Structure 1
């Protein structure tokens, strides 16, 4: 951010309350002085004397408005009713001083006018001066409350963004322990079965995957190509378990490869497919990942040839006992909802003769677009 003393004056006026006050104050009192001076021509007054009177009126009014601002700052912490009463009394006092000064100077400069000091004459000057200062005070408080409203809005948006980020992190980090538990359980089984070489290989692959997870912010987005590279780390672990029983086929268009998606979006879904479509079948199975860009949306389809789902709604409830239930599906849907709201799609469907297809649609953005912007 550019230091304040290096910012252009217009930018300072738009962003700094103190500059806004002085800009509006000078502009307002200059406008008042213009119309007062103009009245000299209309009433055929001596122009030089009228200019002197105008300068006195503008400068004294400006000084009193600066005093009002300082006074309003001091009483601002008070209760709103007390603040309102004190503010009105301050306007009454400032108007009284300003009206007296203007009236005395005006008649001192215009000796040709038969001037008689009277309460009625003073009240005439006071009345229109009071409305000028009352309007000034109303504008001052309107701008102050507007700035407060904007600040509260910014605080609310910031709080919402922080809550949004915390929610996404919670959903993301909830998946890591789930995956870690499954993998450690598989390693334990391999050790008990004395398949130490396979267990050692799985530990090595697990360390690579966890290093990637820890080194990358779960809030950032990555290209689909990077996501596939990460999936290869995960699948390297699972390949040690299932060997030839696990088959994986990727069909990704060139435009989809550069599409940005949430980091580690697909891993829990593939883990879910392996758990229910591969692990439960003696002959294993195949998982297909297809991605393309259609109508400015990234469309991702993850399919398997497992048994499918008997209750889709149950599968989408967190930690349900449905066939494809648990953390993966529900958390992925919640994560997409947090990130994209109604602009995303997340659908499950059984496919013929057997299997499950998960379809994800999110707004298309790419590394090329980011660079162009």
Structure 2
């Protein structure tokens, strides 16, 4: 019966746990008080009073939950004061309703033995409501910590998976074949200087790929430098057909980003856009800081771009899907990843991340 009431269709997610603890906790409170009343040989009808008292406490604490959700991010000291005042207000209201219940059932209200009797009754109720508030915050903080731990574990797992996928990109036979073939051609035409530069760039890029832990973040400046190593290799392949535009503000260069974040996106652009264009292919990378966020825009001028690029996200390829999943694991909901149409032709990938620097972490 309880499972049916607390089913997913009724109370999704954490709501099920709240209602389970809410009903279970107040039922336990009524049971403990009822057992205590038996020891003092109270009248049977007193059990009804206890049940009504627990019922009142259950419903009076419900508004506290939604109130606490609104003030959750307040300063800790202010939050503590607000919690104490809210708990005492609910306790006073509870005491008034309890007194009315006594009057209706026993035909007498709460008769104080001294002037402090009402205050003591309120304080007793206050301790109960304050305990409820403490449990609420304690459980919520515990669940948040568990969620953060789970997110960290998920981020670690996703990052390692991303690393394996990145290495598959960087070390796949097609990529190495194109690079080595370009170097071989340079050697045949005795352009040894450029061939030597190509070998150096290839070795530096592969070394960067292997040395950088995808869990850790690097500055955007280093990320762009690694990306340029990769693009320099591709430029030899496409010769004059590939133009690269990089516009990164000085402030954005300090931003921390996951290592090798842009490489699979650029590789997708080269494979599906630049390689298919008969004219000069253009790849642009623009990054800047706005409203405390890092905004990055990667664009190409490839032909045959869909009218609604966002539809590509539904059937995203490995590169797009991997990047989006990696960002989700690292940032939760605190990021944006979307595709738009470039003008006059081509596609753009727009990424928005929190602005973090080495000084801020």
TM-score range, shorter chain: 0.5 to 0.7
How far is the alpha carbon of 1:275 from its aligned partner?
1.4
Tell me the residue number matched to 1:163.
154
Say if 1:260 and 1:367, in contact at 8 Å, map to a contact too: yes
Say if 2:169 and 2:264, in contact at 8 Å, map to a contact too: no
Question: Cα gap change, 1:162/1:301 in structure 2, threshold over 3 Å: closer, same or farther?
Answer: same
Q: Which structure is larger by alpha-carbon Rg, 1 or 2?
A: 1
Whole-Å separation in 1 of the counterparts to 2:186 and 2:243: 25
Question: Cα gap change, 1:354/1:150 in structure 2, threshold over 3 Å: closer, same or farther?
Answer: closer
Pairing 1:173–2:170 present: no
Pairing 1:327–2:318 present: yes
Pairing 1:226–2:222 present: yes
How far is the alpha carbon of 1:336 from its aligned partner?
1.1
Say if 2:272 and 2:302, in contact at 8 Å, map to a contact too: yes
Give the secondary structure class of the aligned counterpart of 1:352: coil
Matches within 5 A, 1:250-329: 250-307=246-303, 309-310=305-306, 312-313=309-310, 315-317=312-314, 326-329=317-320
Question: Cα gap change, 1:308/1:349 in structure 2, threshold over 3 Å: closer, same or farther?
Answer: farther
Say if 2:158 and 2:325, in contact at 8 Å, map to a contact too: no
Question: How many correspondences in the alignment?
Answer: 220
Q: Deviations over 1:190-217 (max 9, x none)?
A: 5897975687764543222111111111
1:217 equivalent among 194, 213, 217: 213
Tell me the residue number matched to 2:175.
183
**Is there any run of 5+ residues in structure 1 with no aligned partner, and where?**
1-146
Whole-Å separation in 1 of the counterparts to 2:326 and 2:253: 21
Question: Cα gap change, 1:195/1:308 in structure 2, threshold over 3 Å: closer, same or farther?
Answer: farther
Say if 1:308 and 1:350, in contact at 8 Å, map to a contact too: no
Say if 2:155 and 2:326, in contact at 8 Å, map to a contact too: no
Tell me the residue number matched to 2:42.
none
Give the secondary structure class of the aligned counterpart of 1:343: coil
How far is the alpha carbon of 1:240 from its aligned partner?
1.6
Say if 2:205 and 2:230, in contact at 8 Å, map to a contact too: yes
Give the secondary structure class of the aligned counterpart of 1:208: helix
Whole-Å separation in 2 of the counterparts to 1:152 and 1:302: 37
Whole-Å separation in 1 of the counterparts to 2:195 and 2:282: 23
Q: Deviations over 1:275-331 (max 9, x none)?
A: 1221112333111111111111111111111125326355335xx5xxxx5221111
Pairing 1:338–2:329 present: yes
Give TM-score scaled by structure 1 length: 0.52
Question: Cα gap change, 1:303/1:157 in structure 2, threshold over 3 Å: closer, same or farther?
Answer: closer
Give the secondary structure class of the aligned counterpart of 2:247: strand
Root-mean-square deviation over aligned CA pairs: 3.3
Whole-Å separation in 2 of the counterparts to 1:214 and 1:205: 14
Question: Cα gap change, 1:152/1:295 in structure 2, threshold over 3 Å: closer, same or farther?
Answer: closer
Question: Cα gap change, 1:355/1:157 in structure 2, threshold over 3 Å: closer, same or farther?
Answer: closer
Say if 2:276 and 2:303, in contact at 8 Å, map to a contact too: no
Question: Cα gap change, 1:308/1:328 in structure 2, threshold over 3 Å: closer, same or farther?
Answer: farther
Tell me the residue number matched to 2:339.
348
Give the secondary structure class of the aligned counterpart of 1:369: coil
**Is there any run of 5+ residues in structure 2 with no aligned partner, and where?**
1-137
Tell me the residue number matched to 1:236.
232
How far is the alpha carbon of 1:354 from its aligned partner?
0.8
Tell me the residue number matched to 1:138.
none
Tell me the residue number matched to 1:60.
none
